[in-house]
Chain A
Amino acid sequence: MTFKNNLKTALTGLRTHKVRTILTILGIVIGIASVILVMSVSRGAERLILAQIQGLGTKTIAVLPGRQPTGPSDFAQIFSDSLTERDLTLLQRRENVPNLENIMPVVFGGESASYESETYRLTIFGATDLMSKIFDLQQPAQGSFFTEDDVRRRAEVAVIGSEVKEKLFGLNNAVGERIRVKNRNFRVVGVLPKIGQKSFFNFDQMMIVPHSAAQQYVFGIKYFHRFIIEADSEESIARVVRDVETTLRNSHGISDPDKDDFHVETTEDLAETVGAITQVLTVLLVSIAAISLLVGGVGIMNIMLVSVTERTREIGLRKAVGATRRVILKQFLIEAIILTFVGGILGIVLGVSLYLLISLAITQFLGLRWSFSVSVMSVVLGLAVSAFIGIVFGLYPAQKASQKSPIEALRYE
């Protein structure tokens, strides 16, 4: 039998059993599409989060109050007041931390802000004039950033994010106007362009003010929520971390590192932690995808096995009129390949289109910079598993049936 005729026979077989063909293809499509979707989305999420971390810069170190949380439910000391003005002064001294290039104390929290009749809930971010350098922000679209002098003077000035501007001022000019927070008036000196999510902060919903003013007039505290430190080079990060720890322990009178009331996070630590979390997430999502692949696979198996009786008779008949085992197996192999091929292509198309839709939705509605890239691994995995299932379960009954004598196969029930 020529290949052409075998192909024709296989195609005729698929066409005459439309329901079986469609259900099998559907099983493959669902399996592949879900694997592609899930793996691509989880990879995209991981990239997004890592990009956020890297937005901080690799020379950046954060000092947070409270000891390193031991687990997700360990909130005990996160809101501790251990980082003080004195610590800041000590850390700024060259003899204590020689490789420190910049240090910025930070306080932040959610507050309601109003202008005329408009009220908007935003994040008050108390920082210094180093803010735009450390977070690598674009220059304000209107006005300018506040200065070192503003910080020293506890000036009630503010740089606002694009969304804050839009919500409170609409199309009107904001620079020079006063926003009311906790009965204090902050004069807008700058408006940031649209920045979106960066380093886990949404800058568009933020009002940046001198930390001194935020501490005094908004939060009513004397301590800081964190210090953000830049080392003079990537190589000196370890030294800076050590020097910071030593300085703060001396300052707080701590001799046992296990009793630290602060902890230091480097970008690398953060990337590792987040990497671990996203890995767990990926494993979870991939397990879900694997289950859907399995379900699709079981569907395929089921359909193939249900049709065994009918197909065994067909094989018996074909053998009775002179088909060799080889020719019969070839026919079934071609059928299985066509099914997995068509199912595979449709599955890839469906998976990629759904992923595209989700990516568009994320970019559009969440304002995140989502990079659209399909995980090649998922395509390969999905195709391989479906092809395996399709071919094994398409071929296995045929293999068994073709070993029977023609009459045994014809009488199969």
Chain B
Amino acid sequence: MIETKNLSKIYTTDGVETPALRSVDLKIKKGEFLAIMGPSGSGKSTLLHILGFLDNYTGGEFYFDGKLADTFSDDDLARLRNEQVGFIFQSFNLLPRATVFENVRLPLLYSKIPEKDWEVLVRQAVESVGLSHRIDYLSSKLSGGEKQRAAIARSLVCDPQIIFADEPTGNLDSKSGQVVMDIIQKLSTEQNRTIILVTHETYTSQYAERIITLKDGKLESDRKVANRHIAKDGFFK
């Protein structure tokens, strides 16, 4: 479903070129749970943003569902971000002065889903991350773990095939981190979504089936996970 050939990205600031990705070849199958690891500055987030259509690349090829990503127009990209992809950020990126409900509803505003279905979809998504009791809270009033769960609900509300998670536990204590990772894993095991996770924590990466490691923008290793953590059942239900 995702394939890159020689993918590279060079940042240019004030005429100085800084390569972030160098010739990355990668194939990701539908339904896979992949973790991208690497030290900071290794290009793992850059790769994730490119694959999630949040950033552009400067060289090589990137195919999504067999189509070359270069050929997508701005409107195509907006639709892909809306329908195919859900994003979870380290810093949550919620609208602070909006409620959980309004935050989760945000992608629906830009979707083709009829307005009458919105409320049900929002409530379902919020329920699936166990946040129904906070649905009318301002997102700024939530704890870190709750914020990330709201962000997960937002990423799910348009029922995307792929979930991208960029250090989702990076700003959380270990307990909330674990709750968040359990939820993310279930999106893979129970809902068969493709998950691409960026993390630098070995523990977190063990939730995935496959781990690739980047170093200095290059693919260093690509291996299966032998002893996966499997989420305990029904933590929040």
Contacts and interface: CB of A to CB of B under 8 A. Distances in A.
B36 to A, nearest CB: 15
Given A321-B82, A321-B107, A410 B93 contact: yes
B95 interface: yes
Interface string B48-88: 01000111100000000000000000110011011100010
Nearest to A406: B54
Contacts of B53: 406
Nearest to B154: A321
A17 B87 CA distance: 26
Contacts of A17: 97
A242 B193 CA distance: 102
Interface in A322-378: 322-325, 327
A322 B74 contact: no
Contacts of B55: 405-408
Contacts of B54: 320, 405-407, 410
Contacts of A12: 98, 102
B182 to A, nearest CB: 24
A117 interface: no
If over half of A's interface residues share one DSSP class (helix, strand or loop), that class is named, otherwise mixed; here it is helix
Interface in A1-45: 1-2, 5, 9, 12, 16-17
A248 to B, nearest CB: 82
Nearest to B82: A322
Interface in A272-327: 313-314, 316-325, 327
Contacts of A317: 93, 95, 106
Contacts, number: 66
B56 A405 contact: yes
A16 B110 contact: no
A73 B142 CA distance: 75
Contacts of B83: 322
B110 A324 contact: yes
Contacts of B81: 319-322, 406
Given A405-B56, A408-B55, A322 B107 contact: yes
Given A320-B54, A405-B55, A407-B54, A325 B93 contact: no
B110 A318 contact: yes
Contacts of A407: 49, 54-55
B176 to A, nearest CB: 22
Contacts of B87: 320-321
B110 A321 contact: yes
A12 B101 CA distance: 14
B10 interface: no
B99 to A, nearest CB: 11
Interface string A372-413: 000000000000000000000000000000000111101000
Nearest to B86: A321
Contact of B78 (A2, A5, A313, A324): A324
A318 B93 contact: no
Given A1-B110, A406-B54, A323 B78 contact: yes
Interface string A189-206: 000000000000000000
A411 to B, nearest CB: 10
Interface in B84-119: 87, 89, 93, 95, 97-98, 102, 106-107, 109-111, 115
B158 interface: yes
Contact of B109 (A9, A316, A408): A9
23 contacts: A1-B110, A9-B109, A313-B93, A316-B93, A319-B78, A320-B87, A321-B154, A322-B79, A322-B81, A322-B83, A322-B107, A322-B111, A323-B109, A323-B110, A324-B78, A325-B74, A325-B78, A327-B110, A406-B54, A406-B81, A407-B54, A407-B55, A410-B93
Given A405-B55, A406-B53, 7 more contacts: A5-B109, A318-B106, A318-B110, A319-B78, A319-B81, A405-B56, A406-B81
Interface of B: 49, 53-56, 74-75, 78-79, 81-83, 87, 89, 93, 95, 97-98, 102, 106-107, 109-111, 115, 154, 158
